[in-house]
Each structure stands twice: as structure tokens, then as C-alpha cells.
Homo-oligomer: A and B are copies of this chain.
Amino acid sequence: MARRHMPLRSKMGWSSPDRISVCGLDLSSEILGKLNLGDFAFLEIKGRVPTPGESLLFNAMLATLVEHGMTPMAIATRLTYLGAPESLQSAVAAGLCGMGTTFAGTAEGAARMLQEALAAGHDDSGLPALAATIVADHVRAKKSIPGIGHPVHKPIDPRTPRLFALAEQTGSSGQYVLLMQLIAEEAERALGKPGALPVNATGALGALASELDIPWKLCRGLAVIGRAIGLVGHLAEEFRDPIAREIWERVEDETSSEWRTAID
């Protein structure tokens, strides 16, 4: 009746009295002062140090995700810190909890679409037909196509050409980038919206993560890494110029205004 135990193994890190090893490297002599923070994230995720080109590209990809201004997540982090100033980590955690399908889902979705489409292997010459099939499938199923169009950034998302140029420059632009671009072009044609559905930042990130062989299920993790930095940044500003209490008081005052009037 006894369940068979599986051994527990991990290669992330371990320590001895005089040495700390992380993913096979010595922290003090091979990481500190040698790898920048984005390189370290690459090492953690892929288990190896990036090439110089991968380093440039991956740092840029993560940088795209750090700061999106006064998002609901940033407000939630500030409000949580107001209530629990002894737990800065929980304030960031609260903000990260909001990084779900509404805001972070489409890079994941674009990566999934691209990775599933190219799983079987294709010649470049077959990609236009593949893009047409993907667009047609989404249209027929009445699903939005991940990674294209943006409510604010029109007619182009300024991050996309920059990210694609960095990929080109570092030799990381391949079939995933090409397919993503073809899907955007095909969507504009099929939906009759010329110039309105360019590849957006999440589409670019989904394509580039795929070029770096990062599984689509982990794409939200890139957003989490970036945004954790951004939320700490918002707390740094909250320390200098607090707004959380003012937001709370305004919302509380207005939501209860009818009740308070009734009793006066």
C-alpha cells in the first residue's frame, strides 16, 4: 500500500561554508561583478550564461515589462503598503497578484500560438500560409489574436521595432519573429483594418521568448520579474511622495457619500 517515493533533486543552488554555488557557477567569483541582473535571470531560467547577444536582447525584453505607469497593480501595492508597512514584500506580492490575464496574458498567448504553430517544423516559404491559417482559425472561433493591436500605441507600438531591431542585430531573429509579423499583416488584411493591427509589445515579447527557446508557460514569469522591479520603484516614490492615503480617503468618501448625507 505504501506509495513509492521519488527522489527530490534541484540544481538551483547550494552552499558550503566557504562557497555558494548557483546553477553550477560560483556566486562570488563567477557571478558578482560579472553578470548583470538580466544575465542572472537568463541563467536562472535557462541554466546557462547568455551569449553577449542574448544578454543584450534578454535585458531589453525584461526592461519592456518593468514600468507601465500607474497600473492597478501599482495602486494595489501602494495601498497594501499603507496597511502593512512592516511587510514591504507583501505589498509587492499583492501587486503581482493582479498581473493576470487582463494585463499579462497576451505575451503568453502569443508565445503559445507561435510555439504550437512551429512545433512540427516549417520552411520559411510555408509561413505565409501558416499565418493565414492561424488568422482564419481565430476569426472563425471569434477569438482575438494575441500580440497584435494596441488601444493607445497606434499605428505602431514603439517598443516593437526597437525589440525586433535588437533581435536582428544580435542574431536572434528567426521564424518566430517572421511568423508573428506575417500574422499581423494577414490579420489587417483579413479583418480589413490596414495599419490598425501591428505587432504590439506583447506579440514581440512572445516571439522573442520563443526565439530564445523559453516555453510559453514561463512567459508570464518574465513579466513578473520586470514588474517586481517596477513595483519596488513605485514604493520608493510612495516613500517620497505618498498618494495611497489620499486615494483611499477619496474613494471611501465618495462611495459612502449617499449614506453620510442621509444621516446628517
Contacts and interface: CB of A to CB of B under 8 A. Distances in A.
Interface string A144-179: 000000001110101101110010000000000000
Contact of A37 (B8, B92, B229): B229
How many copies of this protein are present in the complex?
4
Interface string A1-22: 0010111111111111111111
Nearest to A96: B93
Interface in A220-264: 220-226, 228-230, 232-237, 239, 241, 243-244, 246-256, 258-260, 263
A9 B162 CA distance: 29
Contacts of A131: none
A151 B45 CA distance: 29
A221 B247 contact: no
Given A17-B154, A36-B59, A154-B17, A73 B67 contact: no
B82 A92 contact: no
Given A10-B255, A80-B72, A84-B102, A233 B45 contact: yes
A90 B75 CA distance: 16
B28 A159 contact: yes
Contacts of A38: 36-38
Interface in A59-109: 59-60, 62-64, 66-76, 79-104
A78 B156 CA distance: 32
Nearest to A84: B100
Nearest 3 pairs of A and B residues by beta carbon: A84-B100, A44-B233, A83-B98
